[in-house]
Structure 1
Amino acid sequence: MPRKDYQQKLEDLQDDVLYMSEVVLERFRVGLEALEHKDDELARDVIEGDHEINELYLDLEQDCIDLLALQQPVASDLRFIAASFKIITDLERIGDLATNLGDYTLDASRDVFPDVDIQAIGDETLEMVEDAMIAYADREPEICFEIADRDDDIDTRCERASELVVRDLIETELEEHGETDDEDVEQFMQEVSRMLLTIRDLERVGDHAVNIAARTLYMVENDDALIY
């Protein structure tokens, strides 16, 4: 492969990774909206859209393999290709978490617990992913460290939200419906379980944002400080 074509393929790979991130982030936004409004139609759109994300992932995975196989990349190019491969893996996982939101929406028999601001937590994790992709696109190592710091706040917010669900909401619901039959109690407990899973999934989106930042930092500066 001529060197000029090779460099163009590197540029195309970056463009395609950024496009995949846009598709994934939009899917997750729609998943959050579906959950907030208990919109079954939006939920189904998110679930059905997972196929497109999987196809993008497989295509980009092959592109990375081809670049490695057809050339002998210099160190900087090798780090870029390896980072891109790891990043599309994180993006694909975020797409799976978006599908989870669609499933939770379809399974829910009541609205999201009003005392837990799922939308706010979800918006923050999505902003972290957006910023991580900006760092990747613009080779900005400073942003990578900022994302890692923000993840600590997300972890704290998710922990507090989980505690609220387990402690305050369960206690309140069971006190108010102490004479409710076992079927109603079981249904409520299923809703609590889905809420805890939702919080866990949002926390994982933040973790994936950190992973993307970590690989970007390594790609740009050969610094593995954020890889763990």
Structure 2
Amino acid sequence: MPRDTFEARLDGLQADVCEMGRDVTDRLDRAVTAYERRDPAAGRAVADADGEINERYLTLEADCIDLLALHQPVASDLRLVVASFKILTDLERVGDLASNLGGYVDAMAGDTVPSVPITDIGEMTLAQLDDAITAYETGDPRRCRDVAAADTDLDERCGAATNDLVRSLVDRSPDADVAATLSDTKRYLLTVRDLERAGDHAVNIAARTLYMIENDDALIY
């Protein structure tokens, strides 16, 4: 394959990964919004569309395998393909987490859980994802390190949200529907956990990107 054709395929792969990343980020954003608004229809729409992300993932994974198997890229080209392959897996899993969040909204019993907002957690997670995808797109090592550093703040905020919920439940009326409250509390905690996991996947994307750019595996381990 001529070098210019091969480079065009690499550029196309990177552009497709970025497009999938933006789509996954948008789905997670819509799931968080659905949770905040207690909008089961919007949550269900996110959950039901997960198959589209899975299909795109498989298509782009096949592209990576083709580039590796048939064209034997070396050095920086090889790192780009391998990083893209790994990043696709993280993006697909973020898509799964967005689908989970949408499903939690659809299954909520109502207002049994005290009002403990997750807007700031969602914004922190989405910012991490956006920065990680931008770092991959632009080849920005500083942004990769910033994504990893920001994960500590996200972890702390998720822990604080859990504590806030527990304190709210302590003050809960004894007449509350215990079964519904427990069920919705579980979903709230799963929501916080899944947003934290999405942040972890953003760090993985940044780590693979840093390795792709500078052959530096510091963030991977």
Fold match by TM threshold 0.5: yes
Instruction: Name 2:168's counterpart in structure 1.
Output: 169
Instruction: Name 1:8's counterpart in structure 2.
Output: 8
Instruction: Name 2:195's counterpart in structure 1.
Output: 202
Q: State the alpha-carbon separation in 2 of the partners of residues 193 and 40 from structure 1.
A: 17
Q: State the alpha-carbon separation in 2 of the partners of residues 95 and 189 from structure 1.
A: 26
In angstroms, what is the RMSD of aligned CA positions? 1.3
Alpha-carbon displacement from aligned partner over 1:44-83 (angstroms, at most 9, x marks no partner): 2101211110011000000000000111211111110010
Instruction: Name 2:178's counterpart in structure 1.
Output: 185
CA 1:188–1:115 in structure 2 vs 1: closer, same or farther (change >3 Å)? closer
Instruction: Name 1:128's counterpart in structure 2.
Output: 128
Instruction: Name 2:102's counterpart in structure 1.
Output: 102
**Kept in 2: contact 1:27–1:49 (CA 8 A):** no
Deviation at 1:111, TM superposition (A): 4.0
**Kept in 2: contact 1:43–1:101 (CA 8 A):** yes
Instruction: Name 1:151's counterpart in structure 2.
Output: 151
Asked if 1:37 corresponds to 2:37, the answer is: yes
Alpha-carbon displacement from aligned partner over 1:183-204 (angstroms, at most 9, x marks no partner): x212111111111111101101
Deviation at 1:109, TM superposition (A): 1.2
Asked if 1:213 corresponds to 2:213, the answer is: no
Q: State the alpha-carbon separation in 1 of the partners of residues 113 and 153 from structure 2.
A: 21
SS at match of 1:109: coil
Q: State the alpha-carbon separation in 2 of the partners of residues 193 and 39 from structure 1.
A: 18
Which amino acid is the alignment partner of residue 159 of structure 1? Answer: G
Q: State the alpha-carbon separation in 2 of the partners of residues 112 and 77 from structure 1.
A: 53
SS at match of 2:49: helix
CA 1:41–1:216 in structure 2 vs 1: closer, same or farther (change >3 Å)? same
Deviation at 1:114, TM superposition (A): 5.5
SS at match of 2:218: coil
Q: How does 1:8-87 map to 2 (within 5 A)?
A: 8-87=8-87
144-153 or 114-123: bigger deviation: 114-123
Which amino acid is the alignment partner of residue 194 of structure 1? Answer: R
Q: State the alpha-carbon separation in 2 of the partners of residues 81 and 53 from structure 1.
A: 19
Which amino acid is the alignment partner of residue 217 of structure 2? Answer: D
**Kept in 2: contact 1:154–1:206 (CA 8 A):** yes
**Kept in 1: contact 2:41–2:106 (CA 8 A):** no
**Kept in 2: contact 1:20–1:91 (CA 8 A):** yes
CA 1:118–1:205 in structure 2 vs 1: closer, same or farther (change >3 Å)? same
Q: State the alpha-carbon separation in 1 of the partners of residues 111 and 130 from structure 2.
A: 28
Consecutive unaligned residues in structure 1, runs of 5 or more: none
Q: State the alpha-carbon separation in 2 of the partners of residues 8 and 84 from structure 1.
A: 15
Q: Which runs of 4+ in 1 moved over 3 A?
A: 111-115
**Kept in 2: contact 1:36–1:111 (CA 8 A):** no
Which amino acid is the alignment partner of residue 38 of structure 2? Answer: K
Which amino acid is the alignment partner of residue 221 of structure 1? Answer: E
Deviation at 1:2, TM superposition (A): 2.2
Q: State the alpha-carbon separation in 2 of the partners of residues 116 and 128 from structure 1.
A: 22
Q: State the alpha-carbon separation in 1 of the partners of residues 192 and 25 from structure 2.
A: 17
- Percent of aligned pairs sharing the same letter: 52
The count of corresponding residues between Structure 1 and Structure 2 is 221
Q: State the alpha-carbon separation in 1 of the partners of residues 141 and 183 from structure 2.
A: 42
SS at match of 2:109: coil
**Kept in 2: contact 1:112–1:195 (CA 8 A):** no
